[in-house]
Structure 1
Amino acid sequence: MIRNILRALLALAYLAAGILHVFVPAPFLGITPAWVPFAPFVIMATGLCEIAGAIGLYVPRLRWWAGAMLAAYAVCVYPANVKHAVDYIAHGTGGLSLWYHIPRLAFQPVIVWWALFAGRVIDWPFANRETRA
């Protein structure tokens, strides 16, 4: 039950983010580090990956791969999240305060775990509870 709820929430979040990346890329382009080549293409591709991952969480044959890839994705986009926070601190740009950036950066490892758990890549910390039920 816990896994199903967390899977639904994660899929909705990634689906929404993916749609925004595809249809409203400007904010994401603004936080993309300068060293990322072909940034508009990368933003479009990341949005499509988020959408595919969200759908994959609901296809049993793809669930494990979707969880693993969404976790890897969360690790890969961390530099953009750091840049977004640094830009805000240095220049006041980005439109979001430290009340957003600090929890967002701290929460990233939880998102990685969440994707792995939702995709049934890992069972921790609920393995004992789910096997007894």
Structure 2
Amino acid sequence: MTYLLLALKYWRECLIALLAFLILCLLMILNHKDHSIEKLKQEHISYVQEQKQKYLEAAQQQQIEINKVSADYEKLKTEQATKVEYVTRTINKYVDRPIYRNVCIDDDGRVQLNELIKSGQTTSTDIK
């Protein structure tokens, strides 16, 4: 009974001690949660960096493939332009013959045009 009377006499101090104990417990819980959040932030940052690195590597690989396709296209375009220029000069040589000035092209010119069409892989028929 003496403890109860003593507690009633010093109720303010007991309440302050209880509140101080609760505050200490809450601060410990908060500190633990703060460490957990920091750990999760670090994991998230590392995950984002990994994904960014994978994306950059994939973008570089695609750029390399695009460059290869572009180079192949330019090479094919140059080859095709060379063929067209050769055929054009050859046809002009045939057309400049005095006998064929009113007719578009002769047999030699037609053969040259057909070869150009076949090399371009078109589906058009031979010129007759």
Instruction: State the TM-score bracket (shorter-chain normalisation).
Output: under 0.3
TM-score normalised by structure 1 residue count: 0.26
TM-score normalised by structure 2 residue count: 0.26
Larger helix proportion, structure 1 or 2?
2
Larger Rg, first or second structure (1 or 2): 2
Ranked by relative contact order (alpha carbons within 8 Å, sequence separation 6 or more), the top structure is 1
